[in-house]
Structure 1
Amino acid sequence: MDKQLYLYLPVAYSIPCYIFYIFTVYVLSLRKYRIYFGTTFFTLFKVQGIVDLLVHVSTWPALRIPFSGLFDEFFKQPSIGTGLLPTIVMFINYYCMYAHIVHLTVVTLNRLVVIALPRNYYSMWTTYLRHIIVVVLLFPITLTWHLIVAGVVFLCIPGAACGLVQNKFLGIRNSFYVFTVSLTTGAFSFVVNMVTIGFVLSQTKLRKNRAEIKLFVMTLALFAFHLVRSALQAIAYFRSDDRDLMKMVLTAMPFVIDFTCLSAPWFLLFTSNTFRKIAVKILSRSKAHVTDSSLFTKMANPGSHRS
C-alpha cells in the first residue's frame, strides 16, 4: 500500500468520527438530560472525549503526516531549526498521550468503585472526582516540561523520512517515559479489572445489573486497545535499532490510536437505547418523550444507581 494512503484513508473516516464524538459530548452535557448522564462515569466520559480528540488530532502532525512522506515534498533541506511550532506540536502530542493513558486508568478505577466497593467509598469518590481529574490533567506536565525547555527540531533525512526530533536535554528519553507510564498504568488497570470481574462473577446481584456490566464491557474494550498500544510502545523502546520493525510500529500505531481514541462514542451508541433515542430526538428536533433503557437504571430510586 502506498504510504500516503495511510494518510488519506484515515482522513475519510476521522472527520465523521470527530463530528460524532463532539455531538456525543454535547448530548451528554445537556442539562435537561442530566437525569440520564449526570453520573461519575459520564463525567469521566466527557473529559475522556476531549482528551481523545486532542490525542488524535495531535497525531496528524506528529506521526501520520511525517510517516506518509508528505512533508518530503515541501521540505528539501536536511533540517529546519528549532522553533516554536514544532516544539508546541510535540509538547501537545506527548502531553495529551500521558493525559489519555492516566485518565483511562481513572475510568477503570471508577468501574471498580461503582460496581464492587461499599457506598461510603463511592460517596468519597464522587466528592473528590473533580480534584482527581485536575491532578490527571496536571500530571503530564511533569513528564513533558523538558520538551519546552530543550525545544524540538523538524528533521528531514534525504531518501528516508521527516519527523519531529527532540533536542537532547539531561539525557531524557521520551520513549522511556512513555514505556514506563504505559507499563505501570497497564499493570494497575489489569489488576483493577480482574478484581472487578471477580466481584461480578462471585455476586449474582452484580451480574443482573446490566447497566453497570455494559459500561464495564466498554471500559474493558478500551483497556484492550491500550494494551495493544503499550505493546507497540515497548517494541519501539527495546527494538528502536531495527528499521523494519520500527516501520511496522509506525504503520500500526496510528490505527491503534484510532480505535483507542474514536471508539468510545460508538460503543455508547450501540449499547444505549436511551442515548440513541435522545440523539434522534435532537437531530430530528422531535418533542417525543424519551424513556429510560436497560443501560441506565430508573432514577426514581437514587440509591439504586451509582454510575
Structure 2
Amino acid sequence: MDNVRKPILKVMAWAAGVFVIMAPACLSAASDAEQQAELAKKLANPIASLISVPIQANYDENIGPDDDGSQWRINIQPVIPFSMGENWNLITRTIVPVVDQNDIPVSGQGETGLGDIVASQFFSPKDATSRGWIWGVGPVWLLPTATEDALGSEKFGLGPTGVMLKQNGPWTYGGLVNHIWSVAGDDDRVDINATFMQPFLAYVTPTQTTFGLNTEATYDWEGEEWSVPINLTVAQLLKLGKLPVQLMAGIRYWAESPDGGADDLGVRLQLTFLFPK
C-alpha cells in the first residue's frame, strides 16, 4: 500500500502548491475583488445563500480485515438556497456518493456504483444574531439509493440536523451535527442509529486562499464504534472565464475507525462550481 500512498500524496501536495501559487495570479485579473472576497467567505459557511456544486473526491486505503482494501468516494454535493420571505432562508444540502472500492470486504472483491444519498434542509435566519452567530436547523434524510448491496444500507432513515457558526474577519468557526435513525427498509440489514459531528475552522487570506481544518466524526450507536477522520485542506478561488470556481486539495488522517475501516492517511480533492446571484 505504501507504493500506492506515496505517489498519491505527492500528487496531492503538488496540486495544492499549484493552487496556492498560480491561482492568485488568475484572480488578480478579476474585475471585482470585493465580490471574490465575499464568495470565498460564503464558501466557508455551509448555509450561505449561494448556489454551489462541490464535487469532492476522497481516497482511503488499508480497509478490510487484511488492510488490502482501497476506496474512491466521489461526493456530488449541490447546495441550493431558497428565500422564505423577508427573514428566512431554506438551504438544501445533498450528498450523492459514487463509490469505487477494491479488495473490499476481502481481497479480490470490489464494487462500483451509486451509494445512499443524504439530504439535509436547513431553515436559517437571513440575519445573524446580535452576537454574530449564524445558525440553521431542519431534517436530514437517508435515501436507500445504492446500486449495489455492498455500497448502501438498504434502509430509509431520518433525523434532525443543525449548524451554528461565526465569521469574524478572515476566520470562520463552528460546527454541524445530525443524527439519523433507520425507520424502514430491509429487516435483514443492520439498523442505523448514528450521530455525525463536524466541527470546522477556516481562514481566508486576502488572495482568497482558504485554509481549513475539520473532523467528520460519526458514532455508530448500534456497533458502539467511532469513525473520526481529520481533514486539513487548502483551497483557492479563481475564475474559469466568467465562472467562479474553487479548487481544493488536502490530506485526511484517521484518528479512529471501526474494525475493518480505513486507516492511516487519505486524500481529499474538490472542485466547486459557484453560481452567485
TM-based fold match above 0.5? no
Larger helix fraction of residues? 1
TM-score (norm 2): 0.27
- Decide which structure has greater strand share: 2
Higher relative contact order (CA 8 A, sep 6+): 1
TM-score, normalised relative to structure 1? 0.25
